[in-house]
């Protein structure tokens, strides 16, 4: 618990890097012991909640990308300790330069051995949120070399409007990939050391490669929003679904303050 709540000191240069590029990778956010303990509990919870039984090669592109389970914090008190880490939440607030952050939701993204790519996309296409003060902590529960499919970023691509209206899939991989190839935004693809965590904003474009190993790529994510975030009028069916799933009872134009959206820092 101490490892989860001890502040992680960011430098001014790191905050500036995030503000410019809308992503950052930070080393030594967690130690091996903490990841081993909580990672084991998270993996057990994923196995308990997972309902996917079809083989990887029988699924569509999205299905091949990962096993995706949501709001584990509501199902397991030990997972809740990890997801509610003040260390993570303070990093999120400091990078976004906001007074505090609240939960949008968590999700486990486990890419099986032989799992396919995660196509290019921007997360905020799915979110009925009134500003871009959103950030996702992407927490590998093991060292993640390139063959395992670590997260990739198009640095600074939050400035691109084209592609924001695409859900994740074959079309987004093709059209966003083509757009990014003719821009000057740097494509960052690097392994993750054990304990390294990335943070990315809702509008920065990102993807992940296939898992070419025979090991599960286990990743836990926590999505934060400015604690003063208001609900906006949804612009697509996905945003309507997210409203009722992750912000039930929230009112358009008002701060999203429901039991599913506690302030974490």
pLDDT digits (tens, 9 = 90+) for 205-238: 999 999 999 999 999 999 999 999 999 999 999 9
Q: What value does the mean pLDDT of the chain take?
A: 96
DSSP-assigned letter for residue 231? B
Q: Is the pLDDT of residue 64 over 80?
A: no
Could you give the CA distance from residue 250 to residue 14 in angstroms, rounded to a whole number?
34
**Strands 217-226 and 134-140, sheet pairing:** antiparallel
Q: What is the pLDDT of residue 67?
A: 93
Measured N-to-C along each axis, helices 12-21 and 86-96 cross at an angle, to the nearest 10 degrees, of 70
Q: Does the predicted TM-score (pTM) go above 0.85?
A: yes
Query: Which domains does the chain carry?
Result: 2-228 (2.60.120.620)
What pLDDT is attached to residue 65?
77
What are the tokens at 42? 């998270």
User: What is the band of 62 on the pLDDT scale with cuts at 50, 70, 90?
Assistant: confident
The pLDDT score that the predictor gives to residue 162 is: 85
Burial profile 205-232: b = 16 or more Cβ within 10 angstroms, e = fewer = bbbbbbbebeebbbbbbbbbbbbbbbbb
What is the structure's pLDDT at 186? 95
By the 10 Å C-beta count (0-12 exposed, 13-18 middle, 19+ buried), 1 is classed as: exposed
Residue 118 exposed, middle or buried by CB count within 10 Å (0-12, 13-18, 19+): buried
In degrees rounded to 5, what are phi and psi of residue 261?
A: -125, 55
- CA-based nearest residue to 247, from 220, 229, 221, 265: 229
Q: Does position 1 have pLDDT exceeding 90, yes or no?
A: no
């Amino acid at each position: 618990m101490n490892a989860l709540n001890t502040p992680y000191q960011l430098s001014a240069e790191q905050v500036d890097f995030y503000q410019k590029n809308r992503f950052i990778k930070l080393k030594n956010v967690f130690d091996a012991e903490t990841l081993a303990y909580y990672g084991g509990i998270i993996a057990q919870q994923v196995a308990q909640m997972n309902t996917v039984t079809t083989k990887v090669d029988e699924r569509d592109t999205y299905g091949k990308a990962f096993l995706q389970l949501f709001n584990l914090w509501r199902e397991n008190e030990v997972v809740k300790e990890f997801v509610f880490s003040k260390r993570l939440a303070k990093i999120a607030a400091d990078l976004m330069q906001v007074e505090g952050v609240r939960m949008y939701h968590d999700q486990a993204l486990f890419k099986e051995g032989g799992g396919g790519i995660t196509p290019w996309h921007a997360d905020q296409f799915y979110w009925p949120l009134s500003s871009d003060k959103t950030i996702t902590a992407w927490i590998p529960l093991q060292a993640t070399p390139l063959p395992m499919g670590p997260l990739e970023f198009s640095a600074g691509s939050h400035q691109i409007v084209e592609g924001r209206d695409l859900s994740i899939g074959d079309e987004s991989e093709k059209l966003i990939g083509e757009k990014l190839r003719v821009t000057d935004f740097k494509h960052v693809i690097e392994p993750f050391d054990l304990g390294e965590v990335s943070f990315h904003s809702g509008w920065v474009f990102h993807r992940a490669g296939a898992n070419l190993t025979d090991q599960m790529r286990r990743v836990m994510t926590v999505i934060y929003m400015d604690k003063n975030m208001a609900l906006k009028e949804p612009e697509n069916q996905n945003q309507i679904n997210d409203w009722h799933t992750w912000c039930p009872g929230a009112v358009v134009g008002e701060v999203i303050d429901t039991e599913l959206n506690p302030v974490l820092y």
